[in-house]
Amino acid sequence: MKLIKRSIFLWSFFMACGFTNAQDVKDTSFKDAFKGKFYIGVALNRWQSNGSNPEEQKLIKAEFNSISPENDMKWENIHPSKDTYNFEHADAYVKTGKQMDMFIIGHTLLWHSQTPDWVFKDDQGNLLTRDALLKRLEDHINTVVGRYKGVIKGWDVVNEALNEDGTLRKSKWYNILGDDYIVKAFEYAHAADPDAELYYNDYNLYKKEKRAGAVKIVNQLKAKGVPIKAVGEQGHYSLTGPAISEVESTLQDFIKAGVNVNITELDISVLPDKGASTTADVSNNAAYKKELDPYTDGLPKDIEKKLADSYQSLFKLFMKYENKIDRVTFWGLSDRNTWLNNWPIRGRTNYPLPFNRDLSAKTQVKEAILKAAK
């Protein structure tokens, strides 16, 4: 009797989703489910970009139609010293994107983190003047954007420039260049490739105060006649938040400001976050405790169900605003290499993505996301 009831339940579920059987769910990709709605993207690490694992490459090509680089276009990797550019890994990433016919994203041109100290200093070790740093920034953007002009379709021009209260972070960029450094970066990027989409990208924009700071950036750019296509809400969420109403307010406020929205770094942590503040700042960290790492032997089905419900709620919301959302990108391919295994607490076992460590789909999660596409 239990088996019959389960069969009836599964048949009803798949019919409600618009699928006729479980094989249809397995065979339906994310990119096909959301075709004509928005791009479904994934962030690639270096080994995925260079094709070290054919199984991963097969999954990337099958499920996604947009890619972002996790680290290989950040300043410390692509421009490690004053007179040295290293395009080896960035070129491999772009080559992979072209071969797979992806909408290719560049990430990121200006960030306070993962930027070498030499960028801000002259040959004697003194801090650069405003004019000298602007010239260095312009040269960097011209070189990097110019190399991939017409191939990389969208750039995260500035990343994480805001404090949690919406004020500008007092980074070295800000301290040397002043309030208009974001405008200057966008101007340089637009000049380097006038056809590329330009974005501002940040985390925790579901917080009203921080979001107001991002809207101010959008308004500042528009007042200067500098194009900005979309704001990226990173989407580093958890099972406990944010509320869907907060995410919806985020979408609404940016739409009112006259830009589209990208969900750029989506993942949902299933682990307790006690001991670490709710921020995606890479400098955030906390001490390891066994009670904060409860699922080392596998993800319980009831927790996977909560994860599936969270993803479904989000994607239903994204579908509601499909005309103003250009892209939803998962920050990582699978649980085996998610950054959340080591952040904000090193050594934990997290399960934030739709694909398991063995690259199989989390059944409940994928079904839930596909259902939201209907």
Cα separation, 132 vs 189, whole angstroms: 18
Six token digits for residue 193: 């490739």
Amino acid code (one letter) for 17:
C
How far is C-alpha 30 from the geometric centre of its chain's CA atoms? 16
* Nearest of 2, 8, 47 to residue 334 by alpha carbon: 47
The set of residues, in sequence order, having a beta carbon less than 8 Å from that of 350 and lying 6+ positions away, is: 269, 270, 271, 335, 338, 340, 341
Q: Which residues of 15-41 are buried (b: 16+ CB within 10 A; e: fewer)?
A: eebebeeeeebeebbbbebbeeebbbb
Cα separation, 340 vs 234, whole angstroms: 14
Question: Which helix or strand (DSSP H or E) is residue 326 part of?
Answer: strand 325-330
Burial class (CB in 10 A: 0-12, 13-18, 19+), 249: middle
Backbone angles phi, psi at 268, to 5 degrees: -130, 110
Backbone angles phi, psi at 27, to 5 degrees: -85, -10
Q: What is the dihedral of CA 112, 152, 353, 295, to 10 degrees?
A: -40
| Catalytic positions | 160, 265
Backbone angles phi, psi at 202, to 5 degrees: -160, 170
Burial class (CB in 10 A: 0-12, 13-18, 19+), 167: middle
